[in-house]
Structure 1
Amino acid sequence: MKQRSDYIKSRLAKTEKPKKRIDLLNQLAWELRYTDLEESKRCTDEAFRLSRENEYPRGRAYARLNLAVNHFLKSENREALEFLTKVLKYFAKNDKEKGFPVALTFAGNIYESFGDYETGLEYVQKALEKAKEIRYKEGEGETQSVIGLIYSRLHDFDRALIAYNESLKIRDKLGDLKAVASSLNRIGRIHVLKKQYDQALEHYQKSLKIREESKQHGALPWTYLGLASAYEEMGDLNNAQLYYQKNIDNECSEIDKRCRLQSMLGMGRILLQMEKMDTAHQFLDDSLVLAEELRAKPLQYEVHFALARYYESAGNPEEALKHYKIYYELKEEVSNDETRNRMKNQQIAFAVDKAEKEKEIFQLRNVELKAAYDEINLINQEMTASINYASRIQTALLPRKEILKKILPGHFILFLPRDIVSGDFYWVTQVDQRIIFCIADCTGHGVPGAFMSLLGITFLDDIVNQRNVLSANEILNNLRKEVIKALKQTGKEKEQKEGMDIALCQYDKNSNQLEFAGANNPIYLIRNGILEEFKADRMPIGYQEDVVDSFQSHTFQVKKGDIIYLFSDGYADQFGGPDGKKYKYGTLKKYLLEINKMPMGKQKTLLEKNF
């Protein structure tokens, strides 16, 4: 804000002490970053020079942070990342400084621009945690904004809107109009993507009013871009062209290259719709050059898509096909299912870790009984909310119904977790003509089991889908090695004893053979009314003394009418009935023999009622 920058300038004019001057110069550079980028750079250079002369590490760290921000706002992301890498080393040792969450947030923002959403999310989640820890509300607002941006890139618009609105609420309360305008702009974009055009224009106009009144020359182009894209989506080509042209005509050196690129790309699309082919081609070609210069993969694939549409309209199918192929390759690289799953893994770990920390904090408090009672209710509510969120993410990690129906059309799944999050999981994938499927029971219930299930799913994805290990026993051998390595298990006393029991099958559709390997969990085959048990090796996925080198495989030919049951110990170990006794495996076998000829859905219903 102008008033804030004038106040800092007046203090600077009265200050002779070197370290105080350095701090004020860094503060002034930060305040001017959106309104006068060149002046911000001059203040930063002066702060950096004085910091070196006066051997002031803190001043040098904040000067480097401001230099990183300066490069970022000029779309010079590689240079920005170099400065952030250096500055994060200082803040890691001085983690109560506000610069720490700021640096983490900008790092996340840069990785987002590269299309590396997984790394970006990792940085901003850490930034949010640190900002809350030191009660830095401005940092929380900025971090929530970047989280919203990453969700919007992944087309999760509802979560993006939640994060953006949280950011707006914080910024509005702080009275930070520049930041409020940014939040309004981003919320407007989400409404465009959700085709809620009236709400989009309302937010963009509010942003435009703030930025015009506060003379945010460097930020105005982003609002013009937002309005242009909204009008383009609405089919109002004249207004879209008007606002795109404002940015293209803007010769200001402060205009962000990404903003200029998206305006050129938008103009190319508009002109293509207007059938002004030559001019459209020039804009699209120039957009591709700039996108490759910025190494921004999300923008690169958008340009290739527009070029494919251009060549299609121009009657050049060979060039159109070439650009379509590049578009799909880049888009898959940026946002494939594996990336989404790994991000969901991070989210569940983040949510569960948050719940555990809150519980630990509460337990350490020494308060009076009434206060403790009130506090535990509050903590439990927050903890339950966090774990419920983790549960939704864990559910998203399990195979989707449509995938299961496609790969295993004749099946049912009875999944009844005892706690909100579960240590049991099921997993399936197909590689060529081989279907690999399993159920697993991880050590512990609830939160500890959920952590282990996260590891299990991640390792199985890597072993089968990335390393192409397809033999049932070798999959378990590799899984055991990964779990032992991850938990640093060596057999010493008091170390982690966690692991998992698992039944895993590999079915070859060509040969009609099924291969089974198990760690403590067997499988049952019912054929012609007879139940046969294929026993598992008596060792877990994890460290165990005197263990044999390899899991053993059992192979048999699958015949028409065969039914194969995989299960954890949860069903047989339940207590109930009039005597409160354990159900046991013998009872389970008898019941399966009674119901196995019924349709799969009916079997599931009966087993659930019997549970």
Structure 2
Amino acid sequence: MINKEIQMKASFKILLSLILFIILNNNLIYADSSKIDSLESQLKKVAEEEQFEIFLQLSKKYRNNSFKKSFYYAQQALKISKKTGNKENEIEAYRHIGAAFKSEGNLEATIEQFEKALAIEKELDNQKGVADIYNTIGDIYKDFDNYDKAQINFNKAIEISKKNDDEDAVSFALNGIGTIFYKQGDYKRALRMYENSLRNYLKLKDSEGIAASYHNIALIHKQLGEYQKALENTFKSLEIYEKLEDEQGISLSYSNIGTIYYYLENNDKAIEFFRKSLAIEEKLGNVLNIAGKNNNIGSVYTEQKKYKLALNFYKRSLKIYEKFNIKNGVAIISDNIGLCYFGMKQYDKALFYNNKSLKIQKEIGNNEGIIYSYNNIGQIYLKKGEFNKALECFNKSLKMSKDLNLKTTIIDSYRNFSELHEAKGSYKKSLEYYKKLTILKDSLLNEESHKQIAEMQTKYETEKKQAEIELLSKDKALKEAEIKKQKYIKNGLILGSIFILIFAFLTYNRFLIKKRSNKLLTSQKNEILEKNEALNQQKEEILSQRDLIEEKNKNLEKAFNTIKRKNKNITDSINYAQKIQNALLPPEHYLNNILNDYFVLFKPKDIVSGDFYWVRQNNNRIIVAAADCTGHGVPGAFMSILGTTFLNEISHLNSNIEANEILNILSQNLKKTLHQTDEKSDTRDGMDIALYIIDTEKQILQFSGAYNPLYLIRNKELCQYKADKMPIGLSYKKEKPFTKHEIKLEKGDSFYIFSDGYIDQFGKNNKEKFKTKRFQELLIRINDMPMSKQKNVLDSIIEKWRGDVEQIDDILVFGVKI
């Protein structure tokens, strides 16, 4: 789905998606925005001929989130290529315009642009270029389910490429034709194409092509019910994609493994691999692939009878496929939605969606899809008691399945016939079909097959887990030694107790023998037997207690390992979040380019911080901010991401904005995002901030603040410019616009903005805060030093002040000298 441009009044859902996208991708807003800004600024500095490549880069950058901008920049590149008469550049411009239309789902306009490029390649008599464009056009038609035109263009590419010994282009076309046969359910011809393509790629030593061919071959074996071969080829492709660090290929492999586990009825494993694949596609922003992964996950939930959950995933997919007019996708999802309604016993709705799917499958010639639709429609008629209609659908499905040798759908057909005859009371026929079903299913799901598949996955995972196993083995050996030691001690105590009891009994017995007459011998014997029984019982109780203690020790060890693992996972996640937050901060090289003499003292209390600093240059204006968000750690870090995102948007949309206007808009956006509609709002999160703008031409500084002031030191005197006594976000007081202060700059002026972490820090000796007065005196005392030296002094003094006292808050001080 195409994303719209970021707007000032973005809804909370869009902004939340943006934050999650940052965390998953590590493609950060700051870096991407800076890249676009950098490219756009270069346009003004280079000659017109050099602008061509920049226009193409900008068109590609905007392709997945703004069709208008992507199209505009590609058109600008086309104008330059025509003006300079560079035909090669003109071809590239048409390709980029076509790609922009494809991202918008406009097939007709896409083909029109590539045909213009094709005409120029023919004019230049560039046969390799002609073949490449035929391949590209074939691939476009394939993606839009127009298989006849796709195959025509692939065949043209093969014909030209064979004459020019271009095996790479031939292999690409063979893979494309193979995919068409695959989608039409002609698996034998598809397999032949994929194997031919693989042989060519192996000759060329083309790793990407080899991996793609293994993946496609695996798909065929999967559909034919040859799961061992399917998994073998999938792991081959996965191994190559991992070496190439090709995330798209890794995602395809995960998806295929998930599907095989789904067919093997291992739903937990299927969900695990589908979710891995979906995470990668969301990271890459591949909307059509996201739709496919949502469908896969929905299929598993359908199998588990979690129909409402499945419908959520299906409807997400359907919305995407309908937008881009992907008929095959619409058909598959419609079938699956029908299955959900069937499971919910809403048969009329189920029949509507399955008939919709059947109609589309017939239009595009997808034989496998037609089989599934007939099976599903037949099941609905069976439930409604319309046996003749059900029988007609099942007969059509079985015939096509046998013609195509699709074992998985033959199994479905046998199951359907068994259920139909059972419903009609023909139990003998029902049993016959059930036996056929069992025999065929067992041949696909035999124990040896499961074992070999498990061994393949184990082999793939072994290297990755070896180091972990070695480490765990050492820990386990130590723990086993300790358990053994404890066991010996307990056994010794038990045996010692038994011996003491026996000795006591014997001593007492001998004493009784001496004192009592022979008349008591019989009673003494009985007494001995009773005590022996009691002793045995005590022994049993002691042994039982020992087993209980050992079991508890095992449970404690297991709980300890679980807590240890979860703690590591949480810590790893927070450490990764720290990398993201640090990447959002202005890079040092960026600050060095626009600020002559400065320092930033930034000391988060936890791994991630609620304080952040932000700098942006717009022409002759430099904007600097230091902010303190509600809380610290992870909650504060999320608030800092919101703050950085809003400041980027505000400065990007209006390069001449005033300091106080920035804070006004920032506060409005934050309140709207966090739904802070009135004083009764549950969310009171916000931020304190000091922000100023330096106009390097006019030599004027504007300042505006929310609670946090600005210090100016001029000629060894400190002047404080006070901030407004209200935060960014919801305020308890009556809100008013933020105040703007203007200062005429002089050479040697030093400006400091900061959070309250430094002045609120407690000392080790008197447990007193550092306080504002001591901070001001310190700044005046060190003002003559270079800014880098000032940073070191500030850091050293606050560390010495707190000693072994815990740091109570994030610390941020930002100093700039004019």
Asked whether the two chains share a fold, i.e. TM above 0.5, the reply is yes
CA displacement at 1:237 relative to structure 2: 0.9
Which of 210, 213, 217 lines up with 2:320 in the alignment? 210
Aligned to 1:350: 460
* Contact 1:218–1:255 under 8 Å retained in 2: no
Segments of structure 1 that go 5 or more residues without pairing to the other structure are 357-382, 392-416, 422-444, 446-570, 579-597
Paired residue secondary structure (1:124)? helix
Structure 1 segment 149-168 matched on structure 2, within 5 A: 149-168=259-278
- Of the three residues 229, 245, 257, the one matched with 1:119 is 229
Q: CA deviation at 1:98?
A: 2.3
Structure 1 residue aligned with 2:422: 312
Q: Report the CA distance between 1:195 and its aligned residue.
A: 2.2
Question: What SS class does the counterpart of residue 397 from structure 2 fall into?
Answer: helix
Deviation at 1:10, TM superposition (A): 4.6
Partner of 2:401: 291
The DSSP-based 3-state class of the residue aligned with 1:33 is: helix
How far 1:225 moved relative to its partner?
A: 0.8
Distance 1:160 1:82 in 2: 28
**Distance between the aligned counterparts of 1:135 and 1:96, measured in 2?**
15
Q: Distance in 2 between matches of 1:351 and 1:95?
A: 26
The equivalent of 1:538 in structure 2 is: none
Number of the residue aligned with 2:386:
276
Does structure 1 conserve the Cα–Cα contact (< 8 Å) formed by 2:330 and 2:357?
no
Match in the other structure for 2:625? none
CA deviation profile, 1:294-338 (whole Å, cap 9, x unmatched): 211111111101101111111222211110100100111111222
> Could you tell me how far apart the structure 2 residues matched to 1:286 and 1:420 are?
61
Deviations 1:392-443 (A, max 9, x none): xxxxxxxxxxxxxxxxxxxxxxxxx95799xxxxxxxxxxxxxxxxxxxxxx
What is the CA deviation profile of residues 228-263 of structure 1, one whole-angstrom value per residue up to 9, with x for unaligned ones?
111111111111111111123347442421111111
Corresponding residue for residue 102 of structure 2? 3
The answer to whether the aligner puts 1:259 opposite 2:369 as a matched pair is: yes
Are the counterparts in 2 of residues 34 and 219 from structure 1 also a CA contact under 8 Å?
Answer: no
Q: Which among 23, 34, 38 is matched to residue 143 of structure 2? A: 34
Contact 2:318 2:329 in 1 (8 A): no
Q: Which residue in the other structure is 1:501 paired with? A: none
TM-score (norm 1): 0.58
CA distance change for structure 1 residues 276 and 419 in 2, over 3 Å: closer, same or farther? farther
SS in 2 for 1:98: helix
Equivalenced residues, count: 389
Contact kept, 8 Å, 1:172 with 1:180, in 2: the verdict is yes
| Distance 1:252-1:298 versus aligned 2 partners, 3 A rule | closer
Higher normalized contact order (CA 8 Å, seq sep 6+, divided by chain length) = 2
Contact 2:221–2:229 at 8 Å: present in 1 too?
Answer: yes
Looking at secondary structure, tell me which structure has more helix per residue: 2
Is residue 197 of structure 2 the alignment partner of residue 87 of structure 1?
yes
**Cα displacement (A) at 1:9:** 4.5
Q: Which residue of 2 aligns with 1:60?
A: 170
Q: How does 1:50-449 map to 2 (within 5 A)?
A: 50-250=160-360, 252-354=362-464, 383-384=467-468, 418=473
**CA–CA distance in 1 between the matches of 2:436 and 2:457?**
31
Instruction: For residues 327-354 of structure 1, give each alpha carbon's deviation from its aligned partner in whole angstroms, at most 9, with x where no partner exists.
Output: 1001111112221111111111111144
Whole-angstrom distance in 1 between the partners of 2:391 and 2:260: 30
Q: Secondary structure at the match of 1:195?
A: coil
For the residues of structure 2 that align with 1:10 and 1:122, how far apart are their CA atoms?
43
1:273 to 1:342, Cα distance in 2 relative to 1, 3 A: same
- Look up the equivalent residue of 1:33 and give its one-letter code: K
Q: Does structure 1 conserve the Cα–Cα contact (< 8 Å) formed by 2:254 and 2:276?
A: yes
1:21 aligns to 2:130 (yes or no): yes
Unaligned runs of 5+ in 2: 1-98, 104-109, 487-539, 552-818
Structure 2 Cα separation of the partners of residues 17 and 109 of structure 1: 35
Distance in 1 (CA, whole Å) between partners of 2:440 and 2:361 is 31
Give the TM-score normalised by structure 2: 0.44
CA distance in 1, matches of 2:383, 2:327: 30
Distance 1:259 1:420 in 2: 53
SS of equivalent residue, structure 2 residue 275: helix
Distance 1:32 1:169 in 2: 28
Is contact 2:361–2:367 with CA below 8 Å preserved after alignment?
A: no
SS at match of 1:58: helix
Q: What CA distance in whole angstroms lies between the structure 2 residues aligned with 1:148 and 1:216? A: 23
Amino acid aligned to 2:102: Q
Measured in 2, the distance between the counterparts of 1:287 and 1:3 equals: 35
RMSD of aligned residue pairs (Cα, Å): 3.4
Decide which structure has the larger Cα Rg and report it. Answer: 2
Q: How does 1:493-512 map to 2 (within 5 A)?
A: none
Question: Partners in 2 of 1:98 and 1:92 — Cα distance?
Answer: 10
Shift of the 575–266 alpha-carbon distance from structure 1 to 2, 3 Å rule, reads closer
Distance 2:179 2:207 in 1: 17
Q: Which amino acid aligns with 2:390?
A: A
Are the counterparts in 1 of residues 228 and 449 from structure 2 also a CA contact under 8 Å?
yes
Residue type of the alignment partner of 2:434: Y
In structure 1, how many angstroms separate the alpha carbons of the residues matched to 2:256 and 2:210? 16
Taking structure 1 as reference, are residues 317 and 194 closer, same or farther at Cα in structure 2, changes over 3 Å only? closer
Partners of 1:51 and 1:328 in 2: how far apart?
49
Partner amino acid, structure 2, of 1:54: N
Change (3 A) 1:175 1:87: same
Shift in Å, 1:574? 13
Q: 2:264–2:445: 8 Å Cα contact kept in structure 1?
A: yes
Output the amino acid matched with 1:112.
K
Equivalent in the alignment of 2:22: none
- Alpha-carbon distance in 2 for matches of 1:26, 1:419: 56
Cross-structure match for 2:508: none
Partner deviation per Cα, 1:274-311 (whole Å, 9 max, x = no partner):
01011111111111111111211111111101101111
Q: Structure 2: how far apart are the matches of 1:347 and 1:67? A: 30
- Of residues 230-239 and 32-41 in structure 1, the stretch that sits farther from structure 2 once superposed is 32-41
**Which residue identity lines up with residue 21 of structure 1 in the other structure?**
V
Aligned match of 1:12? 118
Letter in 1 for 2:274: Y
Aligned-partner SS, 2:385: coil
Q: 1:297 to 1:19 in 2, by over 3 A?
A: same
State the partner residue of 1:457: none
C-alpha deviation, 1:58, in angstroms? 1.4
C-alpha offsets along residues 89-135 of structure 1, whole Å, 9 cap, x if unaligned?
22234444422222111111111111111111111111112112223
Task: Give 1:137 deviation, angstroms.
Answer: 2.6
Q: Deviation per CA, 1:45-77, whole angstroms, max 9, x where unpaired? A: 111000112121111111211121111111110
Q: Relative to 1, partners in 2 of residues 1:355 and 1:17: Cα closer, same or farther, differing over 3 Å?
A: farther
CA distance in 2, matches of 1:13, 1:276: 58
Displacement, 1:169?
2.5
3-state DSSP class of the match of 2:245? coil
Are the structure 2 counterparts of residues 258 and 288 from structure 1 closer, same or farther at C-alpha, using a change threshold of 3 Å? same
Identity %: 21
- Give CA-to-partner distance per residue, 1:522-563, whole Å, 9 cap, x none: xxxxxxxxxxxxxxxxxxxxxxxxxxxxxxxxxxxxxxxxxx
Deviations 1:498-538 (A, max 9, x none): xxxxxxxxxxxxxxxxxxxxxxxxxxxxxxxxxxxxxxxxx
